[in-house]
Amino acid sequence: MIYIVFAHPYPSQSRANRTLLDAVRSLPGVEVCSLYDRYPDFDIDVTSEQAALGRARLIVWMHPIFWYSVPGLLKHWFDKVLTYGWAFGDGGSALHGKDCLWVATTGGSVETYSATGIHQRSFADFTRPVEETAVFCGMNWQSPCILHGANEIDKPALAAHALQLRRRLEVWLAIHGEGASEKAGHAP
């Protein structure tokens, strides 16, 4: 139901992303693929990934921002898995209508992503390629869940952000999860 593509090159060294993943991985219907654990040699099993995406109704891309973009293996995953005739182009409708949620963390604080900050632009200026990748494949782009200042954030604030993400997925599951429509149909 929810497929989380987790792209951290050093999962055991992650603080922010690991906390976010730990907060949501136990939710019902969640399937996680830690890309760097599963494909350390970048040899992605395209059939298996496409099958997992086919089962999902919400696809989550979760990772730290590296050089204003996604880590290399997630870019490679885009290149290999989102193929012509499957994800886009002639007959490529496998992902149409699925929801896509981008969960990313940045080292830079909110202030650094502004005209006067070190990155000179708002973070929204860097999000287009990822957003367009989802939209080009016919997915419903959800409002991204971005955590800035991920290296400095204290434990309670990080936990609060992780809880917010969990609540968001719980709400999504309540609306779209198994039995949701039956429940709605039998509302008292």
Ligand X SMILES: Cc1cc2nc3c(=O)[nH]c(=O)nc-3n(C[C@H](O)[C@H](O)[C@H](O)COP(=O)(O)O)c2cc1C
Nearer Cβ to ligand X, position 11 or 138?
11
CA Rg, the chain, in Å? 17
Among 2, 3, 6, 14, binds ligand X (CB under 6 A): 14
Nearer Cβ to ligand X, position 126 or 136?
126
- Is 15 a binding residue for ligand X by CB under 6 A? The answer is yes
In angstroms, rounded to a whole number, what is the distance separating the alpha carbons of residues 173 and 163? Answer: 15
Distances (CA, A) of 138 to 82, 88, 122, 134, 175: 11, 8, 26, 7, 20
Task: Name which of residues 17 to 76 contact ligand X (CB under 6 A).
Answer: 17, 64-68
Residue type, 11: P
CB of 186 to ligand X, least distance (A): 42
Sequence-separated (6 or more) residues with CB below 8 Å from residue 43 = none
Nearer Cβ to ligand X, position 21 or 53?
21
The neighbouring-strand residues paired with 123 are none
Task: Name which of residues 109 to 168 contact ligand X (CB under 6 A).
Answer: 150-151
- Binding residues vs ligand X (CB under 6 A): 8, 14-17, 64-68, 105-108, 150-151
